[in-house]
Structure 1
Amino acid sequence: MARVGGFSSQRYPVAHVATMCGGFVMRQGSQLVEDVQIDSRLCSRGSLFFALPGAHADGVSYVGKAALLGCSAVVVSHADTTRALEMVGSYPCAVIAVRDTLSALQTLAREYRKLFAQVTAVGITGSCGKSTTKEAIAAITSTLGNTVKTPGNLNSEIGLPLSILQLQGDTRYGIFELGIDHVGEMDRMVSMLKPDIGLLTNIGISHLEKFNSRATILAEKGKLFHPAMQMGFVSEDCPFAKVLEMRSKLSLKRYGMGDIQAVDKGLDGWDLTFEGERFHVNCVGKHLLSDVFGAIQVGLALGADKADIAQGLEGFLPMQGRSYVHKSGVTIIDDSYNASLDSTTSILGYLAGLKWKGSKKVVLGSMKELGKESRGAHAKVARQLFASPMGNTYLYGPEMKGAYDLLRQLGYASPLFYTDDFSELEQSIVEKTRCGDLYLLKASRSMAMERLIPSISQAG
């Protein structure tokens, strides 16, 4: 497993690190700290292990393993200090005590960020499209100077500090994704990162179950645009731009297609022309193309010219699970990383208009955390499917049962299948898969729909 956080090329004495995270050294150690980990399995000589509280087991339970692997120091809560000292035993591992381990990790990241005044930090949030926008901006800034970006999907209040800790002395740009699912999280993220530039992709109903209302989602995500920010961007399709400007007291720049010419090449992506420079991006659907447009505008604001943009984005690929196309005897659009109502209806609309010689089939899993809007959102998906029938439609998960019932009631014209059992879903799909089929996999992350990719590919 690869390391996900660290001090990069920096090395610090344990006492200095303790001060940076607001803790006290309860047991001294002789090793310098070289990287930061929250997974004891990734620890080695020089690691600083944060014993974070977990859903099933607290991190302090793994302090002994971290020490065994050569960890320089462990960070534990005051309440766990005695236990941690016993677990460390005779290993040459320091123990740092803090009030709260997660807050200490965030404090460390905030203090570490202050050491790199030369870094222009870009913060990206929104209900969907964050990862693609982040990757596209980083592709452009990489042509301008050394760039650090959020690894994978480490965009939470745990992932962001680990991402910030990648900064190095020669880093010029930091492109960070800020994903939130509860009130107050954006405040902590902005406090850590203090982004110089912010971009908000959209405001949907993702995580509505925890936020309770779209107004709360807007208020919380809008906190990205803090008073000291140099520049903020929002999609020209966002109906809340004026509200965001009023609350942030910033003049936000709208981004859209502008002077960019786009030629749809189907599942091969888009041919783009910007100020005479031509390049190709392997993004499927208009929703991902909008993310690229946002990245171009941020790139221009950072000093990139048309050649830099073309060079950075030529051949650009979205991350796995974000409308990523797998080509074999069976073609699969893997959009399984997450699902909101907006992203689901967008990719379904794209699929309906896509020319395809074989059969187009959809596998839709539940859209989670939509709270009181869940039933209505799944019903909207059902009505969209009814208006554009597919070759086969597979619905999976308890929230999709309502969509299934509505489609049956409406007299859906295509073969329709529903289950809440993954094995049953997989078996039914494999039995009906033929060479030349096109599949769309779309669901919330917890449904893990990417598990179907190997069996579908082999079946064709």
Structure 2
Amino acid sequence: MTDVKNVSFLSLKEFLNALKSIDGELLNKDFDEKNFYFDSVATDSRSVKKNTLFVPLIGEKQDGHIYIPKALESGASVVLVSKKDDEIIELSKKNPCVAFVYVSNTLHGLQKAAGAYVQKFPNLIRCSVTGSSGKTTTKEIAASVLSQKYKVVCNVGNLNSETGLPLSVFSIRSDHELGLFEMGMNRQNEIGEIAEVFKPNFGIITNIGTAHIGLLGSREAIAQEKKKIFNFVDSNGAAVIPDEDDFADFLCEGVKGKIIRYGKNVKDSGVVFISDDGLEGTTFSVDGVKMRLSLPGKYNFTNALGAVALARELGLSPEQIKAGIESLKPLSGRSQLVKGRLNVLEDCYNANPDSMEKAIEFCASVNIPSKKIFVLGDMLELGDESKKAHANAGKLAIESKPDMIVFVGTEMASGFDEAKKLSGNGQNTKLIHVDDYSLQSIEKAASEINSFASDGDFVLLKGSRGVGLERLMPLLESNYKK
């Protein structure tokens, strides 16, 4: 197809056809179809620029329709609305060069429009990644590898939600050969909805854990939701499934395309584990070609194996896989090792019981002559499971026998209490708890660490993004870079 540069992402006819099932209707009937044009999409009026499709969303606390006037001032050329009140009709009359299109639900309208846009690229190889933990890391590893053969487009960061995924696919252009989009969820059927948008023909699941168990109720329900990423895998596609996960067989059920199981011990994977290099990563080979993954921990090695399995299926050579693995840049806040007077493993972009356990286990296994300091922040969105999960984190941490554990946040009080209860028998782990994650508390935690740490000590930062443990970095920096 012709590139979308200087061409509207969708024509008016394509746009209305996409929205037909949700009552799509052009409100200003005198609008000239020749003027229909948009080359960007936004749900936040602050991101609107000239020729933007503005999609006002209705949330629990705010109705985005109140920002339509601001979006119009900033240059919106198309506005999606789910109201036909006098105010909306009056705005449409005052802005005759702007297309006002009614739908029954603007979120669904965004998704339908995004799906129609994706279908304009029939030759695009469509790949997606989901899982309870490790999906962004897996996506980034896969992107680094696959870009050695294909021109790849993927979502930035973790824009993987019911709104983030549709917004992300509008970055596809005609010269892209492969789309790689991460899919996340915060409610039931969210994966199903966004899979319908992108229709991935290749999918990777990283694992089935307990992230969002407070929302879906059980791991079985999580597995059922995650496997919807395979809904559009056909005989020309493949489902890439973690062999060691206890839901692996369930994830294989009903897949219409090829099933590829990945893991350290999978036969015919072409992968041979060579060595765990601690903080320096993992050395392994693919079809006889030796390479090193710089991200530390066996969980990151497993993430890499999913990416390698997909790459081999898509025809990459071992040399191309090596180039992608070894050119991978550190992911900010995700298993990022920052070396200085202290060696800090910054893994605080996200946290759930699975990733917390893996991080603690890895740090316990690292053999270093200096002290180990664990800084553990609240894991958010765990619902009724929260107290139990945080207590277990405290148990795992104290059993790892670090020299110091700093618990950050109200939820981590359960971890602190459990660690305190289990400490003893001559164990000298220093235990600290700060009540919340205000700046004052973060500064208190930094002060405790700085007064305790010595040259060469190792620090783990692990917590949910909302805790903001990365704020410790400059406070520790002033100490360890002198």
Judged with a 3 Å threshold, the aligned counterparts in structure 2 of structure 1 residues 392 and 354 are, in CA distance, closer, same or farther, namely same
Aligned to 2:387: 375
Counting matched residue pairs gives: 455
Moved more, 428-437 or 365-374: 428-437
Counterpart amino acid of 1:252? I
Q: Structure 1: which amino acid aligns with 2:431?
A: L
The partner residue of 1:237 within 244, 249, 272 is 244
Give TM-score scaled by structure 2 length. 0.88
Contact kept in structure 2, 1:161 and 1:192, CA below 8 Å: yes
Query: What's 2:211 paired with?
Result: 206
Note closer, same or farther for the CA distance 1:314–1:13 as it changes in structure 2 (3 Å cut): closer
Could you tell me which of 190, 194, 197 is aligned with 2:195? Answer: 190
* Aligned counterparts, 1:34-433, within 5 A: 34-79=39-84, 82-83=87-88, 85-86=90-91, 89=94, 92-226=97-231, 228-229=233-234, 230-248=237-255, 252-257=259-264, 258=269, 259-412=271-424, 413-422=428-437, 423-433=440-450
Distance 1:92 1:249, change over 3 A: closer
CA distance in 2, matches of 1:449, 1:132: 19
Give the distance between the partners of 1:364 and 1:11, measured in 2 at CA.
48
Q: Which amino acid aligns with 2:43?
A: I
The answer on whether the counterparts of 1:145 and 1:172 sit within 8 Å (CA) in structure 2 is yes
Q: Are 1:437 and 2:457 an aligned pair?
A: yes
What residue identity is the alignment partner of 1:86? L
**Aligned partners of 1:7, 1:62: CA distance in 2, in Å?**
27
Unaligned residue ranges in structure 1 (runs of 5+): 1-5
1:199-248 CA distances to partner (integer Å, 9 max, x unpaired)? Answer: 11111111011101111111111222226432111111111122222344
Aligned-pair CA distance for 1:264: 3.0
Structure 1 Cα separation of the partners of residues 7 and 357 of structure 2: 46
Cα distance per residue 1:366-419 (max 9 Å; x no partner): 222223333332222222222222222111222211111122122253111112
Letter in 2 for 1:76: V
Please, what is the CA RMSD of the aligned residues? 2.4
**Hey, what's the Cα distance between the residues in 2 that align with 1:210 and 1:444?**
16
8 Å Cα contact 2:201/2:230 also seen in 1: no
CA contact (8 A) 1:268 1:284 kept: yes
CA contact (8 A) 1:76 1:84 kept: no
Q: Distance in 1 between matches of 2:76 and 2:449?
A: 52
CA separation of 1:371/1:262 partners in 2, compared to 1, >3 Å: closer, same or farther?
farther
The one-character-per-residue Cα deviations of 1:312-367 (angstroms, maximum 9, x if unpaired) are 22231352221112223333211111112221111111111213343221111122
Give 1:96 shift.
2.1
Asked whether the 8 Å contact 1:227–1:248 carries over to 2, the reply is no
From the superposition, tell whether residues 133 and 181 of structure 1 become closer, same or farther in structure 2 (CA, over 3 Å): same
Identical aligned pairs, as a percentage? 31
Deviation string, structure 1 residues 239-261 (Cα, Å, up to 9, x no partner):
11222223446662210135333
Q: What does the per-residue CA deviation read over 1:96-141, in whole Å, with 9 as the maximum and x for residues that have no partner?
A: 2221110000001111111111011112111011111111111122
| Change in CA separation of 1:191 and 1:109 when aligned onto 2, cut-off 3 Å | same
Deviation at 1:51, TM superposition (A): 0.9
Code of the aligned partner of 1:24: E
Separation in 2, partners of 1:132, 1:154 = 13
Aligned to 1:457: 477
Q: Distance in 2 between matches of 1:322 and 1:88?
A: 49
User: Deviation digits for residues 20-78 of structure 1, max 9, x if unmatched?
Assistant: 54133324373621111122222211211111123442222222222112222222212
Deviation at 1:177?
Answer: 0.7
CA distance in 2 between counterparts of 1:355 and 1:278 reads 24
